[in-house]
Amino acid sequence: MSQPKYKRILLKLSGEALSGADKKQVIDFDILQQFAKEVKTIVDAGVQVAVVIGGGNIFRGASVEKSGIDRVQGDHMGMLATVINSMAIQSSLEKFGMVTRLLSAIKMEQVAEPMIRRRAVRHLEKGRIVIFGAGTGNPYFTTDSAGALRAIEINADAVLKGTRVDGIYTADPEKDPNATRYEKISYDEALSKNLKIMDLTAFALCKENNLPIIVFDMNKPGNLLRLINGESVGTLVTNE
C-alpha cells in the first residue's frame, strides 16, 4: 500500500454535525457510526489520528449571554458539552475496534486523562486515537482554536476540518448556485476575501505556524481516505 500523504492529522468536527441534518436529536448515533467508520479507514492506513469535536449541538457560551448566564460560565458549560460529544465519539470509535484515549483540558479524572502534551504524543505513537476534550480549557475560545492549538502541539501534518460542504467556495454554495470551489488557497487570500474558514484566532494560529488546513465534506464516504492519500478533496489552505 502507498504511504499516506499525511502521517499525523488532527480531525476537527463540529458538534452541530452530530445532531444530523434535521437536527432532531442532540447526538445522532448513525452519524457517530458513520464518522467512526471513516476514521477507521485512515487508522488502518497507518495514520495517527487526533480528534477535536465541538459542542454546538449542546451548548454555546456566546449564544446564552442574553439569557443571563455570564459569558465565562457559559463557555465553561460549552467546554463540558464538548466532553460529552468526545465521550460519545470515543465509544463509537471503540465499538469499531479502535483504541482511544480522551484527554481533557478541564480536569475530570473519572472520565478523561488530563491534557498532557507528551502523553498525547505517546498515545499517537502507539497508534491510539487521541480525543482532546474541553476545548482549550479557557473561555473566549472555540473548538476551532482548540483544534489548531492541539494540532500544533502534537506536530500534526495538517488540521482537517470536516464540514457539510466539500470545501471553501467563492460564495456560500447553499445560497449561490454560481459559487465555485477553491482547490487550494493561501492564508492571505482567504483572509483578504473574508472567507470564513475558522475563527480568526484559530486561523492566525495555523498561519503563524504553517499548519495546513483542509476543509472537506466529512459526510461523503471515502473522502477522508482519499484526502489522506493526497487526492484533491476539499480545499487546502497553506502559505503558498
Does 151 interact with ligand UDP (rule: CB under 6 A)? no
Q: Is 144 annotated as a binding residue?
A: no
Q: How far out from the chain centre does Cα 165 lie?
A: 14
Does 16 interact with ligand UDP (rule: CB under 6 A)? yes
Rounded distance between C-alpha atoms, residue 115 and residue 133, angstroms: 9
Burial of 220 (0-12, 13-18, 19+ CB in 10 A): middle
| Residues in CB range of 78: below 8 A, 6 or more apart | 55, 58, 59, 60, 61, 135
Q: Is 44 annotated as a binding residue?
A: no
- The alpha-helical segments, DSSP class H, found in the chain are 29-44, 71-95, 117-125, 143-153, 187-192, 200-208, 223-228
* Contacting residue, 4, 20, 56, 162, with ligand UDP by CB under 6 A: 56
* Contacting residue, 135, 162, 167, 234, with ligand UDP by CB under 6 A: 135
Evaluated on CA atoms 113, 34, 231, 205, the torsion sign reads: negative
* Contacting residue, 33, 34, 41, 138, with ligand UDP by CB under 6 A: 138
| Shortest Å distance, C-beta 221 to ligand UDP | 22
Q: Specify the DSSP class assigned to residue 118.
A: H
Residues from 36 through 55 that contact ligand UDP (CB under 6 A): 54-55
| Shortest Å distance, C-beta 85 to ligand UDP | 8
Does 173 interact with ligand UDP (rule: CB under 6 A)? no
Q: Is 100 annotated as a binding residue?
A: no
**Considering beta carbons, is residue 211 or 225 the nearer one to ligand UDP?**
211
**Considering beta carbons, is residue 54 or 212 the nearer one to ligand UDP?**
54
| Binding positions for ligand UDP, rule: CB under 6 A | 14-16, 54-56, 60-62, 74-75, 78-79, 81-82, 135-136, 138-139, 141-146
